[in-house]
């Protein structure tokens, strides 16, 4: 491991407070050993040392914000029939009450948002062709654990770090023993989460090292921003899908002289986020128009997540499974395998309903767990999530942010100056 290099945190977070030194004139205090009329010396206050982050990131966020108040994400006023919320004294009062309630406080999710911003800025510099997928995943996850001060279910990683490449749109993370490496021609989706007290911040971005696919990335980023712009209290989910698709499919990509339309991936979607459940709440934000008249509601969290493709625009499950999660309504069934009983105890204590992967089991000291894990899947206690892939040869991209529908405004919790 390379030695830690200290970098000014403003390279990582331009909202970090800074205090400059200032000159103070000590009027009325005569210079020592002189008469009252002598010229006074000017003294300088010592400069307050700027908060710093390391490379790789290892200083906990709580040390950079010792007051326990973390930066807000992008705060956006509501539109149309909800503009009154911004100035409503009743809604302002409700928001103050919520922010003082330990179970509802926005500081939990903002702490996760700040961890995400600092880790991903460092990860963007670290991720380069030639690095192994395990190396990239470890860099991100070790950084998250350090900055959030991982402590079991109290705080930690929100779900396995997605590092899906090319035609694989989602649900790939390297399993133990994976030796694959990032290549120059890859289009890499980087999707990771941070949880504090079960409040999950879910955000993703895409990197490519060949300008051929820059327009694909632009299309997906624009579609995500369109979804964020139109999301809000009372927004209908089916209508949001239409806005997302219209934006996404206004782009084209030229590959080897051939013009390819960018397509919304029709069977993927954004989603509401529950406590300790990345897809909790039961609501989906489609990427195409639907007849779903369900509305977004005050107090909800959503991952506005869009996927674009140069292929068929539809994914199927294919490949080795790496993502798992204990079911919310897991049945109570007798387990005949001792290894399955022991593994279930570890999963419940360390992850509960948070998604996990095989590398996380090994991080918790588990070994020879595959038989027990497969038994838990067969019994319907744990669900597996295979990779989601479009047609081979196509390219897919993803951008995502977490939004919080506060009483007075919509907050894009994970927004930073990088995207």
Annotated binding residues for a divalent metal cation, written as ranges, equal 191, 202, 271, 305, 400
Question: Catalytic pick from 116, 167, 271, 375?
Answer: 271
Has 25 been annotated as catalytic? no
Reported as half-sphere exposure (CB side, CA atoms, 13 A), residue 32 has a value of 0
Contact 223, 306 (CB under 8 A): yes
Has 305 been annotated as catalytic? yes
Has 214 been annotated as catalytic? no
Has 400 been annotated as catalytic? yes
The C-alpha atoms of residue 17 and residue 48 are separated, in whole angstroms, by 10
Contact 388, 75 (CB under 8 A): no
Question: Catalytic pick from 116, 167, 279, 401?
Answer: 279
The C-alpha atoms of residue 191 and residue 163 are separated, in whole angstroms, by 7
Check residue 218 and give left, alpha or beta (phi > 0: left; psi -120 to 50: alpha): alpha
Reported as half-sphere exposure (CB side, CA atoms, 13 A), residue 122 has a value of 30
Question: Catalytic pick from 72, 95, 305, 366?
Answer: 305
- List the binding residues: 171, 191, 202, 271, 279, 305, 400
Contact 307, 162 (CB under 8 A): no
Question: Catalytic pick from 72, 186, 191, 411?
Answer: 191
The DSSP code for 210 is: S
The C-alpha atoms of residue 219 and residue 286 are separated, in whole angstroms, by 16
Question: Catalytic pick from 72, 114, 178, 202?
Answer: 202
Has 291 been annotated as catalytic? no
Has 81 been annotated as catalytic? no
Check residue 326 and give left, alpha or beta (phi > 0: left; psi -120 to 50: alpha): beta
The C-alpha atoms of residue 362 and residue 90 are separated, in whole angstroms, by 50
- List the binding residues for substrate: 171, 279
CB atoms within 10 A of CB 128: 12
Question: Catalytic pick from 141, 178, 400, 411?
Answer: 400
Catalytic residue list: 191, 202, 271, 279, 305, 400
């Amino acid at each position: 491991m390379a030695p830690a290099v200290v970098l000014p945190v403003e390279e990582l977070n331009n909202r970090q407070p800074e205090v400059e030194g200032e000159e103070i004139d000590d009027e009325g205090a005569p210079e020592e050993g002189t008469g009252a009329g002598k010229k006074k010396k000017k003294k300088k206050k010592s400069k307050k040392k700027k908060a710093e982050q390391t490379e790789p990131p290892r200083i906990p966020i709580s040390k950079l914000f010792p007051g326990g108040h973390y930066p807000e994400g992008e705060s956006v006023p509501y539109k149309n029939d909800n503009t009154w919320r911004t100035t409503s004294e009743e809604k302002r009062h409700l928001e103050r009450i919520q922010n003082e309630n330990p179970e509802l406080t926005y500081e939990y999710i903002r702490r996760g948002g700040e961890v995400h911003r600092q880790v991903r800025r460092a990860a963007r510099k670290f991720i380069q062709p030639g690095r192994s997928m395990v190396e990239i995943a470890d860099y991100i996850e070790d950084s998250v654990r350090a900055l959030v001060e991982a402590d079991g279910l109290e705080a930690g990683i929100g779900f396995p770090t997605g590092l899906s490449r090319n035609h694989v749109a989602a649900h790939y993370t390297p399993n133990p023993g994976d030796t694959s490496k990032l290549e120059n021609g890859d289009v890499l989706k980087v999707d990771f989460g941070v949880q504090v007290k079960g409040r999950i911040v879910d955000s993703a971005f895409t990197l490519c090292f060949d300008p051929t696919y820059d327009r694909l990335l632009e299309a997906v980023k624009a579609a995500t921003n369109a979804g964020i712009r139109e999301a809000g209290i009372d927004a209908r989910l089916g209508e949001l899908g239409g806005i997302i698709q219209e934006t996404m499919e206004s782009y084209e990509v030229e590959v080897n002289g051939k013009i390819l339309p960018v397509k919304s991936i029709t069977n993927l979607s954004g989603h509401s986020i529950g406590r300790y459940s990345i897809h909790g709440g039961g609501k989906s934000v489609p990427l195409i128009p639907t007849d779903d008249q369900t509305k977004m509601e005050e107090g909800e969290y959503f991952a506005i997540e869009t996927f674009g493709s140069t292929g068929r625009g539809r994914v199927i499950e294919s490949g080795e499974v790496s993502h798992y999660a204990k079911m919310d309504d897991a049945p109570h069934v007798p387990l005949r395998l001792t290894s399955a009983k022991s593994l279930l105890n570890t999963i419940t204590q360390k992850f509960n309903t948070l998604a996990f992967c095989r590398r996380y089991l090994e991080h918790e000291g588990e070994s020879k767990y595959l038989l027990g894990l497969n038994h838990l899947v067969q019994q319907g206690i744990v669900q597996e999530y295979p990779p989601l892939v479009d047609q081979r040869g196509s390219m897919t991209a993803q951008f995502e942010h977490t939004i919080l529908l506060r009483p007075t405004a919509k907050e894009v919790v994970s927004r930073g100056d990088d995207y």
